[in-house]
Structure 1
Amino acid sequence: MTNTDIRWQKSSFSSGGDGGQCIELAAIADNIVLRESDDPETVVTTNRHKLRAFLLGVKAGEFDHLI
């Protein structure tokens, strides 16, 4: 499967002129793939459980010290 075969979903919060500043996600079998729209050839693969844990950590502020 190539990147062109994947149905990418952009966040509803994505905005801007060319739309090149957003994260896109897709589900493939039991995996979740993510990419940055301005670098579509670089794809990160994870699973639903790990992505959920990461998002909960972000919402809880666990990574605030990194920004």
Structure 2
Amino acid sequence: MEKDYSDALTLKTGDIMSKLVASASPDMPVMKAVSIMCVQKIRRIPVVQGNKLMGIISLGDVHKAIFANSLKGS
């Protein structure tokens, strides 16, 4: 098992990155982004505008936003 870890030390990020990446635009409805994450079975997706990375959204971000919004309504 130690050999497996030492072999991993020589890997580059490009060797193991995902090549097909789902993304969201800044103006995409949050629930559409959540749907993409559920269908792709991923927990976060990059937010891009054109060719520029604007940020990343995670399921945790969505949960926090829903929770914060529900507190405002109380």
Larger radius of gyration: 2
* TM-score between both structures, scaled by the size of structure 2: 0.32
Query: In proportion to residue count, which structure has more helix?
Result: 2
Query: In proportion to residue count, which structure has more strand?
Result: 1
